[in-house]
Amino acid sequence: MREKGLTAKKVAELSGVSPTVVQNWLTGSVPHNFLAVASLSNALGVDFQWLLTGVHGAAPTVNALSLGELFDIEPDPSFSGLFMLEAKRLRRKDGA
């Protein structure tokens, strides 16, 4: 933001979130809306991975970065019981 001379309000507009969400990001909150981070990375011309994780350079391998490194994992008692989960692999739309 400083390098580009942007305010939190402008960053909020570019990413499609409220200024409060941007303030939360600036104080260390983990973004939950990855589409907003993608929009912001495109608008600023910066790497999505770097913007989300702070990791520069080549993309990490699948085993190099765990979800525990990106998120705080909290037990949630509302998720007790039986569940049926469906997992689908995501593929980039541009064919990459």
- 41 in any annotated domain: yes
Is there a contact between 9 and 19 (Cβ–Cβ < 8 Å)?
Answer: yes
- 40 in any annotated domain: yes
Q: From 36, 40, 57, 52, select the one nearest 4 (Cα to Cα).
A: 40
Asked if the model's pLDDT at residue 86 lies above 60, the reply is: yes
- 94 in any annotated domain: no
The domain total for the chain is 1
Q: How confident is the model at residue 95, as a pLDDT?
A: 55
CATH number of the domain encompassing residue 3: 1.10.260.40
- 65 in any annotated domain: no
Tell which wins on pLDDT, 81 or 57. 81
Q: Which domain holds residue 52?
A: 1-56
Mark residue 76 as left, alpha or beta (left: phi above 0; alpha: psi -120 to 50; beta: remaining).
Answer: beta
Residue 36, phi then psi, degrees to nearest 5 = -65, -40
Mark residue 2 as left, alpha or beta (left: phi above 0; alpha: psi -120 to 50; beta: remaining).
Answer: alpha
- 31 in any annotated domain: yes
Q: How confident is the model at residue 31, as a pLDDT?
A: 84
Q: What are the tens digits of pLDDT across the range 20-78?
A: 988 988 888 888 888 888 888 888 888 888 888 777 665 555 455 666 766 777 777 77
- 81 in any annotated domain: no
What's the rounded mean pLDDT across residues 5-28?
A: 88
